[in-house]
């Protein structure tokens, strides 16, 4: 590797303020704020909004979409049209394609 073109890579504490959780890892991020870690050393601390402790995907509190309600709403709005039946598109169902795909034009 060439010297002087890469950022410094060292230990950093990331703190999730929403969940009151912190973890020590290595990163190129830096901060002027520091924190004394469990091992007695002082490390730069970076505050984050979400982490695996507070993100809904990882915690299992993700919002589930009400797909059944959406289907019923669709049927209420467009059910009368669907019951009458849609007119089939003109042609043989192949759109604008003409002939075979083997070079016939």
Domain boundaries, the chain: 10-49
Q: Tell me what the pLDDT averaged over the chain comes to.
A: 76
Q: Which residues contact 98 (CB under 8 A, 6 or more apart)?
A: 104, 105
Q: According to the model, what pLDDT value does residue 56 have?
A: 61
- What's this model's pTM, rounded to 2 decimal places? 0.52
What are the angstrom distances between the C-alpha of 24 and each of 5, 41, 55, 78?
25, 11, 18, 55
What is the C-alpha to C-alpha distance for residues 14 and 19, in angstroms, rounded to an integer? 12
Q: How much is the average pLDDT of 80-92?
A: 60
Q: According to the model, what pLDDT value does residue 3 have?
A: 85
Residues found in the chain: 105
Q: How much is the average pLDDT of 18-28?
A: 88
- pLDDT confidence tier of residue 27, bands split at 50, 70 and 90: very high
Q: According to the model, what pLDDT value does residue 54 have?
A: 73
């Amino acid at each position: 590797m060439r010297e002087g073109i890469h950022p410094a890579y060292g230990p950093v504490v990331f703190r999730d303020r929403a969940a009151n959780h912190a973890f020590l890892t290595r990163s190129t991020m830096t901060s002027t704020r520091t924190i004394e870690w469990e091992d007695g050393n002082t490390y730069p601390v970076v505050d984050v909004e979400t982490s695996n402790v507070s993100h809904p995907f990882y915690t299992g509190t993700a919002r589930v979409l009400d797909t059944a309600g959406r289907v019923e709403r669709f049927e209420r709005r467009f059910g009368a049209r669907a019951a009458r039946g849609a007119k089939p598109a003109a042609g043989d169902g192949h759109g604008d394609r003409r002939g075979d795909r083997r070079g016939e034009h």
